[in-house]
A = this chain, B = another copy of it.
Amino acid sequence: MISVVIVGTGNVAQNLYQAFEKSNDVTIKQVIGRNREHLAFVKNNIAVSTTFNDIATADIYILAISDDAIKLVADNFKNTDGILAHTSGATSLEALKSAQRPGIFYPLQTFTKGKIISFYEIPICVEATNEDDLNLLKQLGETLSNTVVEIDSEQRKTLHVAAVFVNNFTNYMYTIGSEICEEHKINFKLLQPLIKETAAKLDTLTPLQAQTGPAKRGDQQTLHNHLQIIKDKHQRELYTLLSNSIKEKHGKKL
């Protein structure tokens, strides 16, 4: 049985809480959050705290808080014996240097307010400064997920950049798609099967193989027609830049 303290009340904290709470291999000893109202999701039989004055004893302390708070909050855990692990993709192990046993427990997923998702297929990236701590973090990860990988801080930061492209920027492509639909009174929901299939294609193809569309085909007429339709200056700029990138990549390599 692994005991944990969760620090934070945001989407990651709540998702981890729900997952650990269901697990027979993990006990949540305490949840710490600044705001008592935000701790309302915690069941009555689990301790909560709004300060760092009475931190419970646990094997692992999980900081599921915003990136810029990690360093400051970590200072409260100088004297705890357990592993102090943060859940950030973009923050190095260095940020926890005040801790005796720093670690990383980074679930590679996008968490949405009010939506509890299954961790089973979510890769959990772990890092620590010694083999024992690494094993304990791996063990904790394996209570949730079938994919626990050891990734160092440099690789994790790079993975986070890639995640920004495939998640944040992709969602921005959806945003523009929805704006174009809205402007022309078309139901954006019509595009949803296409959006899902675009993601599902990666089960069997690399993104390079999966590329389709007028830019890939070098279909100048359609590219020209599309630019006639797009009125927004910023959308036009993006359309041109991305189409040229795709043309260049596929013109050279295929």
Contact = CB atoms under 8 A, between A and B. Distances in A.
Contacts of A175: 207-208, 211, 249
Interface in A144-164: 147, 149, 151, 154-155, 157-164
A185 B159 CA distance: 10
A59 B157 CA distance: 58
A131 to B, nearest CB: 22
In the complex, the count of this chain's copies comes to 2
A177 interface: yes
Contact of A164 (B90, B169, B190, B226): B226
Interface residues of A, number: 90
Contacts of A217: 66
A194 B158 contact: no
A202 interface: yes
A89 B196 CA distance: 18
Contacts of A163: 177, 191, 194
18 contacts: A67-B221, A110-B197, A112-B201, A125-B190, A159-B191, A161-B230, A162-B180, A163-B191, A164-B226, A165-B180, A167-B212, A168-B213, A168-B216, A171-B201, A171-B211, A175-B249, A188-B206, A237-B241
Interface of A: 66-68, 90, 108-110, 112, 115, 117, 121-123, 125, 147, 149, 151, 154-155, 157-178, 180-181, 184-186, 188, 190-208, 210-217, 219, 221-222, 225-226, 229-230, 234, 237-239, 241-242, 245-246, 249
